[in-house]
A and B are shown apart, each in its own frame.
Chain A
């Protein structure tokens, strides 16, 4: 077994990197894969909260790097999936406590007994971002259909290309088909046209995502959620399966028809 190391990054903050990591890791674990997520946001950790593992943290990644514990001791097992582990970030340190070669070493140690290592990059393009991409075999760029988020994503894609990390794949998060229809939001085509990279998934806007994050239960575990379905599909594509893209438009028309029939709208 040799793990694939996948880094999730975005440039801009608040577009859903951590949510994407939590959901993809959970979906891969639900498919029976051995998954380790690493929170690369030293000083502003929150992947543990979204996975609902906050109160189990004893050691963190900086403890591993500085030799206070073994790698295994810093790996927190998920509540529901025994093959899903989290290596949390240190909350009381900053990005300079970790270097790119530390990340490469940790990933090298994880590779033999893991299928997927998923690294949650901090926002920005500075040290923390460089640490997070150092060991990556593949990079996923998350963006929202907003001009500022797309421009930051473009910057990140440019850096990845310049550093010869290969072309990243795109997750377009929080797309609202109704707004796109009224020309009030960038469409998936607009975003892809500008970034010119491969699309790996479109996640529709869905309240269930926020509810799931607050409960520490990622939305992929909710079989009725459309965002959950989108993340499950991306996880399948990461495993090399061909999954057709969801038709957001059609589903939405159907959904509004149901709402009309049931008198909810």
Chain B
């Protein structure tokens, strides 16, 4: 038992419990985590669990299965912290948080080092209500951004489709970031710390680009070729 439980470390944090996974095979660690919970059901009853899965690449089924197994033990999985962008994206699509309120200092540094100007996340589907995509680079969406969905990018956001949700480009303060879309009828747009009011839906939508103009205000303009 000593050996099994040491695969997954559980400790208390301000927001509940944090389970830290190692590089060992996911299946073994999943079993180890559940075994730890089954050992002390009273302690884990009603707990909120965040998971730091390190470099594990997890598919939807991995996370959904574990979430259901945890929920049968009355434990809520609410956040998944990962160094793999696949896992991070999966978690975001499942509505799980991918940051906890007090990120570890080394995590911050990692982002600063790994993100370069040309890092982009490509999403080839419609972003629906309740989904929040956060990315420390550019985001390209092939599909719509529906009302109630949010995209927060440190770089630019390009949507090959209709924007009706909220988009925040240049989220870390980059005032030269821009947002462009085939139809920009967003609820709200933000670039750096500027916020636009609702853009009226147009009868005959045309591609638009939103950016901060020379007067320092967020403005959307029709896109002209050339």
| Chain A contacts to B: CB under 8 angstroms | 96, 99-101, 125, 127, 130, 134, 147, 151-152, 154-155, 157-159, 161-164, 194, 196
Contacts and interface: CB of A to CB of B under 8 A. Distances in A.
Given A155-B128, A155-B129, 8 more contacts: A99-B71, A99-B72, A130-B68, A151-B148, A154-B128, A158-B128, A159-B94, A162-B93
Nearest to A101: B72
Interface string B143-172: 010111000000000000000100000000
Contacts, number: 59
B159 to A, nearest CB: 15
A223 to B, nearest CB: 38
20 contacts: A99-B71, A99-B72, A100-B72, A130-B71, A151-B146, A154-B129, A154-B147, A155-B148, A157-B128, A158-B128, A158-B130, A158-B131, A159-B94, A159-B130, A161-B128, A162-B90, A162-B94, A194-B144, A194-B146, A194-B147
A50 B128 CA distance: 32
Contacts of B146: 151, 154, 194
Nearest to A153: B129
B217 interface: no
Contacts of B61: 164
Nearest to B94: A162
Contacts of A100: 68, 71-72
A159 B64 CA distance: 11
Contacts of A152: 129
A15 B99 CA distance: 35
Contact of A96 (B74, B147, B164): B74
Given A162-B93, A163-B64, A151 B71 contact: no
Contacts of B206: none
A158 B127 CA distance: 8
Specify which of B131, B144, B146 lies most central, judged by the most chain A CB atoms within 10 Å of its CB.
B146
Nearest to B65: A100
A127 B46 CA distance: 13
Contacts of A147: 147
A98 to B, nearest CB: 10
Nearest to B74: A96
B148 A154 contact: yes
A196 B144 contact: yes
Contacts of A196: 126, 144
A96 B94 CA distance: 21
B60 A164 contact: yes
Contacts of B74: 96
B88 to A, nearest CB: 14
A159 B95 contact: yes
Contacts of B93: 158, 162
Contacts of A134: 68
Contacts of B95: 159, 162
Which interface residue of A127, A130, A159 has the most chain B CB atoms within 10 A?
A159
B68 A163 contact: no
A155 B130 contact: yes
Contacts of B164: 194
B32 to A, nearest CB: 20
Interface in B92-117: 93-95
A134 B64 CA distance: 11
Contacts of B64: 163
A157 B90 CA distance: 16
Contacts of B130: 125, 154-155, 158-159
